[in-house]
Structure 1
Amino acid sequence: MTQSMNNFELQTGESAIVLSRAIMLYSRQGAQGSLGDFLYATQHKVENFGTEADPDFQIAAGQPVTREAIVAMFEQLAKQLTLNVDFLPENVLSISADHMVWWMPACERNVFFNTKELGKRAAKVPHPGLVFAVVKSNWYVFALTGSERPKLDTPLCHAPYFNVYDDGSICAGSAARPVGIATGAIPQWEAAFFDSEFTHINGGERKASHPRGEYALWKELLDGVYQQFPVEYLVPKESTIAGLMKAIRKLMERK
Structure 2
Amino acid sequence: MTPNIPLYQPKAALVVFTASGFTAPYIEYYDMDETGSPVNPHPLTVREAQSLAKALDTREQAGKAFLRPEGILPANVLHIDPSANGSVVWYTKAQRQKMYFTESLGLQNGTVALPALVWKATKKELQLFALKSKTKPKAETPLYHAPFFNLYQKGNVCMGNVNVAIKSAATLEEFITAWQGYFFESYFSHHINDHNPVGVNLFNLYKELMADPEKPFPTDTLRPTPLTLKKLL
Give yes or no for TM over 0.5.
yes
Q: Displacement of 1:143 after TM fit?
A: 0.6
Matching of residue 207 in structure 1 with residue 197 in structure 2: yes
Matching of residue 128 in structure 1 with residue 115 in structure 2: yes
Instruction: Give the distance between the partners of 1:106 and 1:230, measured in 2 at CA.
Output: 11
Instruction: Give the distance between the partners of 1:228 and 1:216, measured in 2 at CA.
Output: 15
2:166 to 168, 174, 179: 179
Give the CA RMSD over aligned residues: 2.8
After the TM superposition, which residues 208-223 of structure 1 pair with which residues of structure 2 at under 5 Å, given as runs? 208-210=198-200, 213-223=201-211
Greater Cα radius of gyration, structure 1 or 2: 2
Per-residue deviation, residues 158-212 of structure 1 (Å, max 9, x unmatched): 01100111111111113343414532222221121111111111134330001xx
Equivalent in the alignment of 1:234: 222
State the secondary structure of the residue aligned to 2:136: coil
State the secondary structure of the residue aligned to 1:216: helix
Higher strand share: 1
Contact 2:124 2:164 in 1 (8 A): no
State the secondary structure of the residue aligned to 1:121: coil
1:143 to 117, 130, 133: 130
Equivalent in the alignment of 2:50: 66
TM-score, normalization by structure 2? 0.68
Instruction: Give the distance between the partners of 2:113 and 2:67, measured in 1 at CA.
Output: 36
Identity %: 29
Indicate how the Cα distance of structure 1 residues 72 and 86 shifts in structure 2: closer, same or farther if over 3 A, else same: same
1:93 to 66, 69, 78: 78
Q: Displacement of 1:78 after TM fit?
A: 7.7
Instruction: Give the distance between the partners of 1:190 and 1:223, measured in 2 at CA.
Output: 24
TM-score, normalization by structure 1? 0.62
Relative to structure 2, which stretch is displaced further, 229-238 or 197-206? Answer: 197-206
Equivalent in the alignment of 1:193: 183
Instruction: Give the distance between the partners of 1:171 and 1:75, measured in 2 at CA.
Output: 29
Instruction: Give the distance between the partners of 1:171 and 1:63, measured in 2 at CA.
Output: 51
Q: What code does the residue aligned with 1:199 have?
A: S
Per-residue deviation, residues 67-86 of structure 1 (Å, max 9, x unmatched): 68539958943861578253
Structure 2: segments with no counterpart, 5+ residues: 1-43
Structure 1: segments with no counterpart, 5+ residues: 1-61, 246-255
Instruction: Give the distance between the partners of 1:83 and 1:190, measured in 2 at CA.
Output: 15
Indicate how the Cα distance of structure 1 residues 74 and 116 shifts in structure 2: closer, same or farther if over 3 A, else same: closer
